[in-house]
Chain A
Amino acid sequence: MTNTNQTQGRIVLQANQVRKSFGSKLNSTEVLKGINLQVREGEFVGIMGPSGAGKTTLLNVLATIDRPTSGTITIDGNETSKMKDAQLSKFRRDKLGFIFQDYNLLDTLTVKENILLPASLGGLSKKAAEEQFNDFAGILGIKEHGHKYPHEISGGQKQRTSAARALVNHPSMVFADEPTGALDSKSASALLGTLEDVNKSRGVTIMMVTHDAVASSYCSRVIFLKDGSMYSELYRGDKTRQAFFQDILNMQAVLGGDRVDAR
């Protein structure tokens, strides 16, 4: 069930006129200048743009890690921009999953402990949690490393651990910030392949920030930001990944800056 048609599926994320400024009132820089965005269930959305375009800020604001200066954000019917901190924490834990560039695994926990950490406060029974672990660790190929510590496994395995941790709670949406940024190309494509797989087979909604055209070619839709505004977007549709990749490169050329090596 690929999302060839943008009108298919329930809307998971809706952003209206999202603005974000940093600095004091007198001397502020507007990083996001009124973003409007919809993400439907089962989409795999990439966000691209040159350095300083506001990619990561957008992701943080949408992912409730940061608050917008103005505008509304609704995820799964909940208006997150109006929630209090404590509510937001609970919301993140129950509804969202995160994958970070530098993995953000806890060094003192084993792979399995890291993956099961979000489940610990979710009221999931031990048996159910065990099943979830077996399920996702199996898909991501890290089941046999469950008892190892992060420093004992490779970067790719670490990122897959991080992905399993993001998925184990069955979140409404997974946010990934440059998940392949620290990986070699082989590990990167393995991870992206798995994410694409999970997205297609399980309908998990993913939003990923990347500056890498190869990475974004795995997405079903790529949004281009420039100077804090939406510049354009591309749908993959039925195209092959290679064809989509070419489209993305062309768009980047138009956008200028941030030259990317095609790997």
Chain B
Amino acid sequence: MTLVDLVLRSMRKNLKHYYLYFFALIFGVTLFFIFSTLQHDSSVVEQTDLSAKMASGFQAATVLLFGILLIFVTYANDLFLKRRSREIGLYQLVGLTKGAVSRLLIIENILLGAGAFIVGLGAGLLVSRLFLLLLMKLVGYEGFVNLSFSGAAFLQTAVVFAVLIVITSFRMFWKVRRSQLIDLFNDDKKDEHPKQPKPVLSALLGILGVAMIGFGYWFANSTYMLNAFLLLNMLLVLAFVITGTYLVFRVTIGWLMTLVRKNQNGHIGLAGALSIAPLMHRMKANAKSLTVITTLSAMTLAMAGFAYSMYYSTEQETRVWVPHDFLIDEIGEGKEGTSEERAAKFAADLDEAGIGYVMQPITYLELNASYTGDNLPDLLGWEGNTVTANVFDVRQLKAAGLDIEEPKAGEAVIHDSGIAWLLTDEVFPYEASIAAGQTNEKLRVTSLGKREVASGYAGVHSQLTVSGETYDRIKAAAPAETHQLVAFNLADQKDLAEASAIFRPYRGDMTLDFYTTYKESLSYNGIMIFITGFLGLAFLVSTGSILYFKQMSEAEQEKRSYTTLRQLGFRTGEIMKGIRRKQAFVFGIPLVIGLVHSIFAIKSVSFIFMSTDITLPVTIAMMAYALIYLIFAVLTIGYYRKTVHAAL
């Protein structure tokens, strides 16, 4: 019998060990192939303007995807090897050399890999169209798209997958080489023995874990976060939260359970014997993987929540930057005549098309200003410097249809979305001194406006809105600094697309119309949510499967206990009650901690949403995640039920 015969025989015999690993491999190929197809497909590249905008995003996502697949496949491979360690030992016992055994395993791995590659590719071809339609819908493209087989995607998938197979084969080789015969025979029943933890130390470390997470949360949302060391601070928060999470799994939970158990004084009951006892027993071995799962979950949740919020808030957030439907600016390449002249022409075009609108001339004064206040943000360098401020007349803005607050005489409201996140409540009020001709106008800046008041060049600098009288006074002192804009706001938003086409020749090199900007950010955010959703799904399925696999092997290890319990007269239903409680912990704790982490993460960046309440989109994203995640818990419980049922 040759080695290949042996391989084929053992593969036929061991089908039930294989399917898990095989599934992991197929899943990897399919995901990667779909992802690769979408970024190499010419129609996708055209329709989404991919090359210019999101190519780097797709590339970064590809690396992340490869990373998660590597973690997932090596994990499945380890588990697979562990389950077969007795078989590997047996081969050696009957005289196969280590070299022959590792050759056998590697041939198997390559055969499995090749099979998974073909199946995965087929599945990928079938479903990639579905994903393409989803992507097109998300970026707001309506029309027919054709998806063809992409040679580049095939090649990329093949290379990535070959790397995966080489890495796993090498690990197999390494494991066989390093193994002792005796370990191989004990591997599947190797269990750590529960130890009585040192009470003082575990109490200290247990509390420290929670404290570290708490500190990370507090720091991320405190004012200390936003300074010149932002990146360093973020790393600090990550380090604290992840270490804290590890300690929570490694010590805190075990410690709390010890307290509960001590309190029970031996009267643990069946449910406790099947939940708290095995959980404590395995907390040490599981701490690392639970930390990884929690961190991945938190990352996925934060990413998905954030991306979905971006997508969800696209319209409102675009309004922050582009307040008017159309704006005629006075500066710009290829523009002839004054803004009023061009506005008149655009208005005539709109009239011709039968589109209703409000046309409102807006003037502003571009002046030097200096700001003084007790809590001006250091990062802006306002203190002691002269900055440019564009002063707007609130009467004109109101006439153009903007819903903004009206400053009192001698006061001003600052509008600057770019730095809004730095202008917290404690900055206000501060004093502004505006150089208007020979005089200096003193204004008290009382608050931050919710949005820009004009886009384009007028919006590059901070905008100060002042009352009508104040504006007139400043203008009289410095009439030369006046700039002229004309804002158009449509009577019916349905006409936006048509009007946007008419506006194109007036636009020049600046995007001054709402519709175009909105469409662009929608497609940007669409691709973004597609990528995060895709990655999120990959992460979710990986973490869910890892937990499922882990619980499968735990169920195998605990089978003997179930047999004993059944013999002692406990019914399957009674045993399942305890097992469900255990699964609630195993799946629930990473989910809950991951959720809390991600909520704090999103909270700390939520300042970029100027005018949208993101509670709803974040909740939807998190619920969707939790729901899919719980499917794995249900599957796991089903597997346990089968095991318990078969135990007697």
Contacts and interface: CB of A to CB of B under 8 A. Distances in A.
Co-assembled chains A and B: yes
Contacts of B569: 88-94, 96, 118
Contact of A113 (B273, B281, B574): B273
A202 interface: no
30 contacts: A65-B567, A65-B648, A89-B566, A90-B569, A98-B568, A105-B564, A106-B277, A106-B561, A107-B193, A107-B561, A108-B194, A108-B281, A110-B266, A113-B266, A116-B268, A117-B268, A117-B270, A117-B273, A117-B568, A118-B568, A120-B267, A121-B270, A121-B570, A126-B267, A129-B267, A133-B266, A146-B266, A147-B196, A149-B193, A165-B568
B551 to A, nearest CB: 15
Interface string A100-130: 1000111111101101111011000010011
A104 B277 contact: no
B194 A120 contact: no
Interface in B85-144: none
A151 interface: yes
Given A92-B569, A93-B568, A113 B277 contact: yes
Closest 7 pairs (CB-CB, A-B): A93-B569, A92-B569, A112-B266, A108-B277, A104-B564, A120-B269, A108-B281
Interface string B549-580: 00000000000110111111111001000000
Contacts of B565: 106
Nearest to A85: B571
Interface in B563-605: 563-571, 574
A146 B574 CA distance: 25
Nearest to B277: A108
Contacts of A105: 564
Nearest to B280: A108
Interface in A169-198: none
A261 B273 CA distance: 40
Which of B191, B269, B564, B566 has the most chain A CB atoms closer than 10 A to its own CB? B564
Interface of A: 65, 85-86, 88-94, 96, 98, 100, 104-110, 112-113, 115-118, 120-121, 126, 129-130, 133, 146-147, 149, 151-152, 165
Contacts of B280: 108
A130 B574 CA distance: 23
Interface of B: 191, 193-194, 196, 265-270, 273, 277-278, 280-281, 560-561, 563-571, 574, 648
Given A107-B191, A108-B281, A120 B568 contact: no
Contacts of A98: 567-568
Given A108-B277, A109-B277, A89 B570 contact: yes
Contacts of B266: 110, 112-113, 115-116, 130, 133, 146-147
B647 to A, nearest CB: 12
Contacts of A147: 196, 266
A116 B267 CA distance: 6
A100 B566 CA distance: 13
A89 B571 contact: yes
Given A89-B570, A92-B568, A165-B568, 8 more contacts: A89-B571, A108-B278, A108-B561, A109-B268, A112-B266, A115-B266, A121-B269, A129-B267
Contacts of A117: 268, 270, 273, 568
A133 B265 CA distance: 12
A98 B270 CA distance: 17
A236 B2 CA distance: 62
Contacts of B194: 107-108, 149
Given A106-B273, A107-B191, A121-B270, A92 B567 contact: yes
B640 to A, nearest CB: 16
A84 B196 CA distance: 42
A178 to B, nearest CB: 15
A165 B567 CA distance: 13
A45 to B, nearest CB: 20
